[in-house]
Amino acid sequence: MPIADKMVKMVEAASMIRKMFEEGISMKEKYGADNVFDFSLGNPDVPPPAVVKQTLMNLINSKTISHGYMPNPGYPHVRQAVADYLNKEYNAKVTSDLVVMTAGAAGALNDTLRALMNPGEDILVPAPYFVGYNQYAFVAGANLKTVSSLPDFHLDIDAISSAITGNTRVMLINSPNNPTGVVYTREELLSLGRVLDAASKKFGKRIYLISDEPYRKIAYGVDVPFMFDVYPHTIVLTSYSKELSLAGERIGYLAINPEAEDAAMIAGAAGVTNTMMYVNAPALFQQAVGLLQGVTVDIGIYKKRRDMFCEGLYEAGYEFDVPEGAFYLFPKSPIESDLEFVNILKEQNILAVPGTGFSGPGFFRLSYAVPDKTIQDSLKGFKKAFDYVK
């Protein structure tokens, strides 16, 4: 093998995703883009707010713009702007030295996991979960262990409590959730915090909570609790990929609760781990987001699509919980095999992702980061596929 043995499985998994992506492209070439209903990707189509472009233009024309190296954790004034925002919005009491600017949420996850994990330690994640976690765990040399969720995809606190062992270093959660759209409540998060604290004491080893929050701002009228308040030993991380529709620009950050055990040491390590992969987050977009704290895309656009999609799928007979956040629907497959049902949808030119890919067999994921018309025009096909199997 010309590539590392340990890479073979990772390449196979990546090529499955690429195959799906390429299949979408070839179907669009064959049938015309308007006749293919591609719900497979979480790539925001809502344009960034106008102020993003204006901020970039102002920066490019300003004499103070910087293109050079900077301290690896990011520009001090940008880290300060993020800390100020978190303190104002959530009373986080975080200082700028506990903020590290990163290449998206993926960069923040890589930095944090590599800073925290010893080789062979466990990351515990509730299933279903975002597939990228497999890759980040791999890079950190850690094991990703799943724990089941409740039937409505909220946290199963008892299952989590039983799944934690002396080898667990990190609990990783994501709310609003990809793929389920669930937003965890303050009560369940407080219960989780109590379980993590008790387990840390029991095993004589601090278990850290990583809260992956790229969809925090995409929530539909529900509270998304701030995580430092539910468990002190928490690292929150996020990006501007979804809330500002800047996914390709690779910009995000991680922030460590000042009350977390060894917070300063973790921040220092995360600042070093990013030098090992990408040195620092992109300079131009750091400077831009420093000026854009609190700005988000128009969430009303996603809410309208969610409502339209839910209504159409419900009328067609599908079963699902109405998502409270993110831009995904996770309906139950009307037949046992989600893999088979996704192929049946494909016959209607509908592209969906089988839940099995997220460790959520029996379901399938639909991203509604697509134009309204794609949703409207697809509903006939969804009904046909449902009627075909029922």
In whole angstroms, the minimum distance from the beta carbon of 105 to ligand PLP comes to 4
User: For ligand PLP, what does the binding mask look like between residues 234 and 273, x meaning CB under 6 A?
Assistant: -----x-x-----x----x---------------------
In whole angstroms, the minimum distance from the beta carbon of 215 to ligand PLP comes to 7
- Sole residue written with tokens 């128009």: 298
- Find the distance separating the first CA and the last CA of the chain, reported in whole Å: 47
C-alpha 277/C-alpha 281 separation (Å) is 10
C-alpha 341/C-alpha 345 separation (Å) is 6
User: Please, which of residues 157-186 interact with ligand PLP by CB under 6 A?
Assistant: 174, 178
C-alpha 166/C-alpha 160 separation (Å) is 13
Q: Is 105 in the site for ligand PLP (CB under 6 A)?
A: yes
Q: Is 123 in the site for ligand PLP (CB under 6 A)?
A: no
Q: Is 130 in the site for ligand PLP (CB under 6 A)?
A: yes
Tokens of 40: 């497979």
Cβ proximity to ligand PLP, 199 vs 243, nearer residue: 243
Q: Is 214 in the site for ligand PLP (CB under 6 A)?
A: yes
Cβ proximity to ligand PLP, 105 vs 375, nearer residue: 105
- The CA-CA-CA angle for residues 387, 388, 390, to 5°, reads 60
The answer to whether the CB of 170 falls within 8 A of the CB of 210 is: yes
Q: Is 42 in the site for ligand PLP (CB under 6 A)?
A: yes
Cβ proximity to ligand PLP, 179 vs 381, nearer residue: 179
Residue span binding ligand PLP (CB under 6 A) among the ranges 64-72, 98-106, 158-166, 284-292:
98-106
In whole angstroms, the minimum distance from the beta carbon of 61 to ligand PLP comes to 27
> Rg of the Cα trace of the chain?
21
Q: Is 94 in the site for ligand PLP (CB under 6 A)?
A: no
Q: Is 354 in the site for ligand PLP (CB under 6 A)?
A: no
Q: Is 212 in the site for ligand PLP (CB under 6 A)?
A: yes
- Sole residue written with tokens 């925090």: 216
Residues in the interface with ligand PLP (CB under 6 A) total 14
Instruction: Single out the residue of 233, 163, 156, 159 nearest to residue 197, CA to CA.
Output: 233
Cβ proximity to ligand PLP, 105 vs 313, nearer residue: 105
In whole angstroms, the minimum distance from the beta carbon of 339 to ligand PLP comes to 21
Cβ proximity to ligand PLP, 181 vs 214, nearer residue: 214
Residue from 48, 104, 128, 282 touching ligand PLP (CB under 6 A): that is 104
The torsion of the CA quartet 333, 339, 343, 344, rounded to 10 degrees, works out to -30
C-alpha 209/C-alpha 192 separation (Å) is 10
In whole angstroms, the minimum distance from the beta carbon of 171 to ligand PLP comes to 15
- Amino acid (1-letter code) at residue 219: A
Residue span binding ligand PLP (CB under 6 A) among the ranges 11-19, 101-109, 270-278, 335-343:
101-109
Tokens of 176: 């609003």
Report residue 147: phi and psi, to 5°. -130, 140
The answer to whether the CB of 158 falls within 8 A of the CB of 149 is: no
Q: Is 48 in the site for ligand PLP (CB under 6 A)?
A: no
H helix count then E strand count, the chain: 12, 12
In whole angstroms, the minimum distance from the beta carbon of 210 to ligand PLP comes to 11
In whole angstroms, the minimum distance from the beta carbon of 264 to ligand PLP comes to 25
Point out the residue whose Cβ comes nearest to ligand PLP. Answer: 104
Phi-psi region of 277 (alpha: psi -120 to 50; beta: other; left: phi over 0): alpha
User: Please, which of residues 311-350 interact with ligand PLP by CB under 6 A?
Assistant: none
Output the DSSP codes for 179-235: TT-----HHHHHHHHHHHHHHHHHHTSPPEEEEE-TTTT-BSSS----GGGT-SSEE
In whole angstroms, the minimum distance from the beta carbon of 224 to ligand PLP comes to 14
How do strand 168-174 and strand 208-212 relate by DSSP bridges? parallel
CB atoms within 10 A of CB 373: 10
Residue span binding ligand PLP (CB under 6 A) among the ranges 103-111, 148-156, 339-347, 365-373:
103-111
- Sole residue written with tokens 């600042």: 271
* Contact positions vs ligand PLP (CB under 6 A): 42, 104-106, 130, 132, 174, 178, 212, 214, 239, 241, 247, 252
